[in-house]
Amino acid sequence: MSRIRSVTLRVARTVRARAHAALHDAPDRGSAIVEFLGVALVLLVPVVYLVLVLARMQSAAFAVDGAAREAARAFVTAQEPSAAAGRAVTAAAIAFDDQGLDPAAAAGAVVVACSADPCLTPGTAVTATIALDVPLPGVPGWLQGVVPLAVPVSATATATVDTFAGAG
Q: Report whether 101 contacts 134 (CB < 8 A).
A: yes
Amino acid at position 45, single letter: V
Structure confidence by residue, pLDDT tens digits, 49-74: 999 999 999 999 999 999 999 999 99
C-alpha–C-alpha distance, residues 13 and 5, integer Å: 12
- pLDDT band of residue 108 (cuts 50, 70, 90) is very high
Classify the phi-psi angles of 22: left when phi > 0, otherwise alpha if psi is within -120 to 50, otherwise beta.
Answer: alpha
Q: Is the peptide bond before 148 cis (omega within 30 degrees of 0)?
A: no
Q: Which of 124, 117, 129, 118 is nearest to 71 (CA)?
A: 129
Residue 159 neighbours by CB distance under 10 Å: 20
Look at strands 125-135 and 150-160 and give their pairing.
Answer: antiparallel
88-116 burial code (b ≥16 CB/10 A, e <16): bbbbbbbbbeebebeeebbeebbebebee
- Residue 129 phi/psi, 5-degree rounding, is -115, 130
Three-class SS of residue 112?
Answer: strand
| Domain residue limits, the chain | 37-160
Q: Report whether 56 contacts 137 (CB < 8 A).
A: yes
The pTM for the full model equals 0.72
Structure confidence by residue, pLDDT tens digits, 114-166: 999 888 999 999 999 999 998 888 888 788 778 778 899 999 999 999 988 66
Q: Report whether 130 contacts 71 (CB < 8 A).
A: yes
Cα dihedral 65/70/71/72 (nearest 10): 100
